[in-house]
Structure 1
Amino acid sequence: MPTTIKAVYVNFTAARSAERMERLSSLVQRTELNSLVIDVRSNGGALLHERDEETRDQLEGLRQAGIYVIARVVAFKGGPRGWYDPGSEARWRELAEISLRAFDLGFDEVNYDYVRYGAAREPRSRTPVRERAPTIRAFFEFLRAEVGDAARRPISADLFGITLLGPQDGVGQRLEDAVELFDYVMPMPYPSHWGPGSLGLANPAHHPYETLYAALSAGWSRVAELPGRIALLRSWIQAFDLDSSRPMRRYRYTPWHVREQIRAIEDAGCAGYAAWNPRSAYEESAFAPVPPETA
């Protein structure tokens, strides 16, 4: 396992395409990148390719190329009515089975996204707010015991960027809970998602370095010295444009914006990053090239 993970996200369609995976693998080998976060299914059936042997072969090829492979598992979004019930122990067991199977297929780590309650309009959000964070913590404890400890492999969790500034009981996410139960906590402090004035910045989207550095430093200062902390901080970064019906809220995220976020993550003392682009399309100039003598 690399000391510092430097990853890009690969969606399910891209992961099943030999041509696109070849391009992404080549990108990793030509740049500072060393890891891929790959979508797997979480609703039954094959986790990636229809035949497990094909998935094993693909993952083995990536690992032979020196690439660390992380399975991204969506926890509670996508149920029959929009969301699974975060308190459903049957869903917890299903996620544990998926995770252990991912390790068996050759993934090095399992990353959990949507480890939260849904928006207010979602039926599952009728759970009283006071019960949400304790429920999500119980789920984290379950994953620690049934996946992380059982498999003796790393597990990580994605959190809203705002959790860096304080607990978000409405969705059930508390940074303090996550750092005690995961090997890596991965907040999503995307600059374009902060409102005007956040973090002391008139327009955070225009200041990728300052936004990430302020948010990550604030979060880490709250939890770094907690007696029960086991996690390291690894941040998601914005590698996508923000589309909006309002012209003033449209942002083009260039390689410069990505590099500035990486610089902030390094200066904040994080254990790496993962770049998010929903189309899994990345510009090579966003990442430092591998020195010629090591390429």
Structure 2
Amino acid sequence: MKKKTKITFVISTLMVVLLLTSCTAFNGNSDKVSEISAGSSGTAQQSQATSAQVSEQTSANSTQAASTTTGSSIDIPSDSTGGKDAQPGNGLQLSPSIEQVKVKAVYLTGPSAGSSTKVDNIIELAKKTELNTVVVDIKEDGSLNYESDLEIVKKYGKQTKYYKPEVVINKFHENGIYVIGRIVTFKDPTLAKNRVDLAIKNSKGSLWLENGSTPWTNPYNEEVWDYNIAIAKEAISKGFDEIQFDYVRFPTGRKADFNYGTNVPEKAAAINGFLAKANKVLHEEAGVPVSADVFAIIVESKPDGESIGQRISEVGKDIYCISPMIYPSHYANDAKKGIMSNGVGQKINGIVFTKPDLEPYKVMYNALVSAKAKIAQVPEYKAKVRPYLQAFTAKYLPNGYYQTYGPQQVKEQIKAVYDSGYEEWILWDPSNKYQESYFNPEK
């Protein structure tokens, strides 16, 4: 077997794109930024509408504030660690039986993980190239992609059963591939509909709906936390090496549209509280690292971070890794109209980008340099940074504001990761079509 991260087993064989970064407009005569909301500007409205087109990489009175909740009716299983023993690494622990990994990954949907052809293609890529990791969807749009034994999921969730995790993970492990499980957290329309008391409400007390159709669970409610942590813990028992929480945030929109309950703390307190609890249960107790996807714009815009509960200075304080979604196409451009347009562009690390999708290296490099500078100001910041990179063509942008993304554009972003001082990355393509030429050959 070629030199690649190898996996020694301790357990028996058991076992899309709107990670949409809020675009923040800045005034041409000022550096002041404004919170993105459905009614704050035409650009923001377009960004909100895009969620249905681009497709992303929950009772107000009964909502319990994160600072005052003492329990929940959803129990987190205590015996689902699969007998794994933790090993130290990077200041936190890496998964048992996994050597320290410098992640070079691609993202796979549930259907792709259930396709033996697609799985075999990824394995062949890993044999030939530097690719050593896959991120596999566990829960997306409120549905688990495999059969769960959790009674709470059977009662309030949904199961699509695309793949058998033990089988797929074992296959990846046999070929030296690290497996990260992605869980879409608070954007869970299934749980929100089946447990309306756990859903975000609108100003009138009814179910709040994103784009008029999709409800979310309430990040302030600790019962929602425990539901997702229980799913993550079961996933660990099936062999996943790391748990990655996505949509670990509040939805975007006008403040007046939401009713989260009374006397609730800051949004960031809820997000930080969830991640701290997830880390305690999954990492400290089960020995598996916890990571989280975050909007890249929170590095540049404090108001955007506050509006969704993600502060760059805090979101990584309790977990192993954060993955800012630095897609050049998801920053504002200076077109007069169209998706992601604000007539001005986007300032990143003090530099104005008017057509960010056309400059993948500079956007990625400056976003990461900016993130590094801000993180460096926070003592004992635990999380390392592992960005998501754009491996898709943003045809939804106005003509002249996007380009075809192929090997050159992907490699430019990878180079920017290294040049900015980071070592790991994940490629995102909702269609899961990854070319061998994206990667360096295996040495």
Query: C-alpha displacement at 1:55, in angstroms?
Result: 2.1
From 406, 409, 415, the counterpart of 1:254: 406
Query: C-alpha displacement at 1:9, in angstroms?
Result: 0.1
* 8 Å contact from structure 1 (residues 192, 251) kept in 2: no
Larger Rg: 2
What percentage of aligned pairs have identical amino acids?
30
**1:138 and 1:123, CA in 2 relative to 1: closer, same or farther beyond 3 A?**
farther
Could you tell me which residue of structure 2 aligns to residue 40 of structure 1?
A: 138
* 8 Å contact from structure 1 (residues 179, 223) kept in 2: no
| 76-85 vs 236-245, greater mean Cα deviation | 76-85
**1:138 and 1:124, CA in 2 relative to 1: closer, same or farther beyond 3 A?**
farther
* Secondary structure at 1:82 match in 2: coil
- For the pair 1:18 / 2:83, whether they are aligned, the reply is no
* Residues 1-295 of structure 1 mapped to structure 2, 5 A cutoff: 1-41=99-139, 43=143, 46=147, 50=161, 54-79=164-189, 80=193, 81-120=214-253, 125-127=258-260, 131-167=266-302, 168-195=305-332, 196-199=345-348, 200=351, 201-244=353-396, 246-291=398-443
Q: Distance in 1 between matches of 2:257 and 2:325?
A: 23
Query: C-alpha displacement at 1:226, in angstroms?
Result: 2.1
* Secondary structure at 2:130 match in 1: coil
**1:50 and 1:254, CA in 2 relative to 1: closer, same or farther beyond 3 A?**
closer
Query: C-alpha displacement at 1:100, in angstroms?
Result: 0.9
**1:151 and 1:166, CA in 2 relative to 1: closer, same or farther beyond 3 A?**
farther
* Secondary structure at 1:170 match in 2: helix
Aligned residue pair count: 290
Q: Distance in 1 between matches of 2:330 and 2:130?
A: 26
More helix by share: 1
* 8 Å contact from structure 2 (residues 357, 401) kept in 1: no
Could you tell me which residue of structure 1 aligns to residue 22 of structure 2?
A: none
Query: C-alpha displacement at 1:123, in angstroms?
Result: 9.9
* 8 Å contact from structure 1 (residues 191, 238) kept in 2: yes
Q: Which runs of 5+ in 1 are unaligned?
A: none
Q: Which runs of 5+ in 2 are unaligned?
A: 1-98, 149-158, 194-213, 333-344
* 8 Å contact from structure 2 (residues 325, 388) kept in 1: yes
Q: Distance in 2 between matches of 1:185 and 1:242?
A: 24
Query: C-alpha displacement at 1:211, in angstroms?
Result: 0.7
* Secondary structure at 1:56 match in 2: helix
Query: C-alpha displacement at 1:225, in angstroms?
Result: 4.7
RMSD: 2.4
Query: C-alpha displacement at 1:182, in angstroms?
Result: 1.2
Deviations 1:69-123 (A, max 9, x none): 0000000113235211111211111111111111110110000100111121799
Letter in 1 for 2:105: A
Q: Distance in 2 between matches of 1:226 and 1:131?
A: 20
- Higher RCO (Cα < 8 Å, 6 or more apart): 2
* Secondary structure at 1:181 match in 2: coil
* 8 Å contact from structure 1 (residues 232, 271) kept in 2: no
| 75-84 vs 119-128, greater mean Cα deviation | 119-128
Q: Distance in 2 between matches of 1:51 and 1:276?
A: 20
Letter in 2 for 1:108: D
Query: C-alpha displacement at 1:198, in angstroms?
Result: 2.5
Query: C-alpha displacement at 1:197, in angstroms?
Result: 4.2
Q: Distance in 2 between matches of 1:125 and 1:210?
A: 37
| 213-222 vs 77-86, greater mean Cα deviation | 77-86
Q: Distance in 2 between matches of 1:89 and 1:130?
A: 13
Deviations 1:145-172 (A, max 9, x none): 2222121211100000112224411111
